Amino acid sequence: MIIDRILQALKRFPERVRQQFQRKPDRFLNRIQQQCELGIEATQALLDYLGKPNKKNAQRVRQLEKNGDEIHRILVDELNRTFVTPIDREDIHALSRTIDDILDDTWFTINEMDILEVEPNSFLKDMAELLGHGAEEIKLAMDRLERHPGVASTHAIRAKSIKNDMETLYAKALADLFRKPKDLDTVITMLKLREIYRHLFHAGGRIGDAANTIDDIVVKFF
């Protein structure tokens, strides 16, 4: 009986050693992952709003944006009180801020649509879908960064491709606007839509910025 216990303990010993020295998840990267999750939720809420514009769907995005702001504030506070970080503190801060900006632009889109009474159209829906795909790629890149940096870089490349698609779609949306009749009501609608398009375009740019920062991290640290 005693011999069996000793043998079982010896079998478990390597696993215990491995667990003891296993790298713990980094809290800063975890914070950014939380922001990414909120970004995906927000882009889905944006699509829900475009499918059914109402105050409830708008408020959902507003709350997600507030939650994202709070996570970013906590990250910055922890960053200011930490001497050693797993990657450059500038990269951590830039990545967190960029993802927070995606949430901001998503909220700005809905807020101005509501205030200006802009009706959803096919361009807005297509741009929102692209933004959602980009947010998913950034989240996947962050999930893979520590253990599979090569895979993280692949997702970052996909995110940059989505950013390029957003630029193309934005140009098409603007071209369509300026083909409309030029009566006063149409001109007012054009000005409103242009502002909304710009928010989504900027959000797509933030996707590209986040992807570039992830690529920089992979090159420098992995």
93 compared with 7, residue with greater pLDDT: 93
pTM of the model: 0.85
Whether residue 214 contacts residue 152, with contact meaning beta carbons closer than 8 Å, is answered with yes
Which band of pLDDT confidence, cut at 50, 70 and 90, is reported for residue 186? confident
% pLDDT > 90, the chain: 70
Q: What mean pLDDT is predicted for residues 136-163?
A: 95
DSSP string covering 110-153: HHHHHHHTPPP-HHHHHHHHHHHHHHHHHHHHHHHTTT-HHHHH
- Between CA 154 and CA 173 the distance in angstroms is 29
Domains annotated for the chain, with CATH where assigned, are 26-221 (1.20.58.220)
What is the structure's pLDDT at 3?
60
